[in-house]
Amino acid sequence: MKHFLTLILTLSVVALFAQPANRIVANPEYSKNIISKHIYGHFSEHLGHCIYGGYFVDEGSTIPNTRRIRTDIVDALKKIKIPNLRWPGGCFADEYHWNDGIGLRSERPKMVNTNWGGVTEDNSFGTHEFLDLCEMLGTEPYICGNVGSGTVAEMSKWVEYLNFDGVSPMADLRKKNGHDKPWKVRFWGVGNENWGCGGSMTAEFYADQYRRYATYARNYGDAKLMKIAGGANSGDYHWTETLMKNVPLNMMWGISLHYYTIPKTWASKGSATAFGEDEYFSAMKSCLHMEELVSRHSAVMDQYDPEKRVALAVDEWGIWTDVEPGTNPGFLFQQNSLRDALIAASTLNIFNNHSDRVRMSNLAQTVNVLQALILTDKEKMLLTPTYHIYDLYQVHQEATLIPLVLRTKDYVLGNDKLPALNASASRDKDGNIHISVVNIDPTNAQDLQIDIAGTQALKASAQILTSEKYTDHNTFEKPNALKPAPFAGTKKSGESISLKVPAKSVVMITLAK
């Protein structure tokens, strides 16, 4: 018997080492979680040229627009089916008073944007303009209310203005301002970063404030609010636990989490396009830390909510670098390289794989700010590499997650290492399977075998986003330098797919009927 067990153990070890070094194993029969489309949400704050000079053009502009909302931006975002848009902030939300942004534009009071550049805002883009934009995009509005400098009554009246279909002071005012029927806004943030720019509160104090504000943010008719509590900064697990412990679960649809990928340090973040491999590696390490954050915040939430009724909404994330030389440091304008596309793809893979708890996320930010999808310069517009990731990944929206087991080689630099590959997979309503694979190793291609049960009759095709250098990016002179292309490197045999994933690339594999 002893010799027999030794033989079995030896054969098992031999079999293990005979397998490919990089391998994905998945079985669609174990699928159950839906990847919420709201994981693919976005964020537009009154910051720099995101709104003014981005979505919203000057009165009388020759740039094609509808009611001052820029047409080419709307068309680009509709193409990738953005599911929701968060507004007006961010830090701006907790100094914004919504009634200053309604009525005749000529009569709206001006304000100073103290958080972002100290510029004077004329409030010409307010509630009606934002919801007009959302209707053009075919997306759901996600409005963040003012807890830091606002009042309970102010927030309560804003909800009534938006959602009440009847006779009341706020509904009558909405009708007077030109919108007869309510918008029925669902997603509602009760404050933003209340541990910092939203009031410098403790977790315990904010939990009490949340209950007050949320109580008076009423449901009207069938417009049931999905209230999102202002959650933790990065790894502040105490904040999450305090909210879960002190706020009744039926008062929250979700709790937010904010985390930014920082290539170097907060004081000196590094360039968006001029960096070496040390900085590239540290950025990828910072990005992949999201896996630990989501896992640990989810574990805290599981203690109080094992049925996962409350969503984790990562409603600010992305890479944050130094601003482009010569631009206003308060406007947070940065370029967008292949590195940023790899960060976006890797992060979305993490969210997909945690879709049992993560049911919303919002990339910061949509136009001209931080990890933007779109950059503009007067009449010019370009789509960034990050935009193309959202284009490739839209197939995961509302698809069923296919859990997978991934074994990967490491990407090694000096004495440190990271997993070279990351991935997620889903099956859409038509039965097609999509596998998104990222190779963060900037030098080495990775041979990969993928085994997915029950896919004998499906045909494989793929697209790829990559470039010669990880610093490569699109410019207004060369706006299409980086964009997805067909990838002919996949070979399918039965239920197995083999491919060589090129260095620093994102590959989207489709198995279609």
Find the mean pLDDT for residues 71-81.
98
Find the mean pLDDT for residues 92-109.
97
Domains annotated for the chain, with CATH where assigned, are 19-31+402-512 (2.60.40.1180), 37-398 (3.20.20.80)
Phi first, then psi, for residue 316 (nearest 5°) are -145, 120
Q: What is the pLDDT of residue 442?
A: 98
Question: For 164-308, where are the alpha helices, taking DSSP H only?
Answer: 169-176, 203-216, 237-246, 277-304
What lies within 8 Å, CB to CB, of 263 at 6+ separation is 269, 270, 275, 279, 280, 282, 283, 286, 319, 321
- pLDDT over 70 (residue 3): no
- pLDDT over 90 (residue 496): yes
Find the mean pLDDT for residues 112-120.
93
Phi first, then psi, for residue 303 (nearest 5°) are -65, -35
Q: What is the pLDDT of residue 432?
A: 96
Phi first, then psi, for residue 64 (nearest 5°) are -55, 130
At 285-328, the pLDDT tens digits run: 999 999 999 999 999 999 999 999 999 999 999 999 999 999 99
Band (20; pLDDT cuts 50, 70, 90): confident
Phi first, then psi, for residue 335 (nearest 5°) are -75, 180
Give the residue numbers marked as catalytic: 193, 316
At 434-481, the pLDDT tens digits run: 999 999 999 999 999 999 999 998 999 999 999 999 999 999 999 999
Report d(CA 159, CA 93) in Å as an integer.
Answer: 15
Band (1; pLDDT cuts 50, 70, 90): very low
Report d(CA 42, CA 120) in Å as an integer.
Answer: 25
Say which amino acid occupies 25.
V
471, containing H or E segment: none
Q: What is the DSSP string of 12-23?
A: HHHHHHHS-SSE
- pLDDT over 70 (residue 202): yes
Find the mean pLDDT for residues 323-348.
97
- pLDDT over 90 (residue 261): yes
Number of neighbouring beta carbons within 10 Å of residue 251: 15
Q: What is the pLDDT of residue 32?
A: 87
Band (19; pLDDT cuts 50, 70, 90): low
Report d(CA 194, CA 215) in Å as an integer.
Answer: 18
- pLDDT over 50 (residue 65): yes
CB-based contact 202:194 (threshold 8 Å): no
**Percent of the chain whose predicted confidence (pLDDT) is above 70:** 96
Q: What is the pLDDT of residue 16?
A: 38
Lowest mean pLDDT among 1-5, 84-88, 412-416: 1-5
- Of 71, 60, 167, nearest to 124 (Cα)? 60
- Of 332, 388, 429, 447, nearest to 76 (Cα)? 388
Report d(CA 287, CA 346) in Å as an integer.
Answer: 8
**Percent of the chain whose predicted confidence (pLDDT) is above 90:** 95
Find the mean pLDDT for residues 508-513.
95
Paired with 227 in beta bridges are 188
- pLDDT over 60 (residue 209): yes
- Of 371, 390, 258, 394, nearest to 320 (Cα)? 371
Torsion region of 159: left, alpha or beta (phi above 0 gives left; psi -120 to 50 gives alpha): alpha
Query: 0.75 cut: is pTM over it?
Result: yes
At 387-417, the pLDDT tens digits run: 999 999 999 999 999 999 999 999 999 999 9
